[in-house]
Structure 1
Amino acid sequence: MSNKQGKRYSEEFKRDAVRLARSSSKTVTEVARGVSPEGLRSWVKRDQADRGDGGAGELTSAEREELRRLRRQNLEQQKH
């Protein structure tokens, strides 16, 4: 597949994959059958941030969404 966006997975699928990766004694690469290991790693990392276990300065999903919204709003204001 050469689609630059890649496959789109539902939030439920991502949650289940993260839950499996977190609860398994297997590596992310072993768990990630049918999903790229890099993608699953990023989902696990985002889940850790959302749980408050992220690195210093790492944004939660809600904070990322707010930042995107504020940047869009700022661009719109600059246009006018």
Structure 2
Amino acid sequence: MRIRRTFTPEFKLEAASLVLDQGYSILQACRALDVGQTALKRWVDQL
């Protein structure tokens, strides 16, 4: 079982901005940041 990580609001905003502002795909940003796709999609949708 994987340990659940917590991310700061600043990190979430920065991660979402990679997709929204810098042209990264969800998959590219996930790989670069070592974050799950579901989490990143949720952060992008919240903005």
TM range (shorter): 0.7 to 0.9
Output the TM-score relative to the length of structure 1. 0.49
Which runs of at least 4 in structure 1 moved beyond 3 Å after TM superposition?
none
Shift of 1:26: 3.1
Aligned partner letter, 1:39:
A
Report the structure number with the largest CA radius of gyration.
1
Larger RCO, structure (CA 8 Å, separation 6 or more):
2
Gapped regions of structure 2 (runs ≥ 5): none
Shift of 1:32: 1.1
Identity of aligned residues (%): 24
Output the TM-score relative to the length of structure 2. 0.77
Gapped regions of structure 1 (runs ≥ 5): 48-80
Structure-2 residue corresponding to 1:39: 39
Structure-2 residue corresponding to 1:59: none
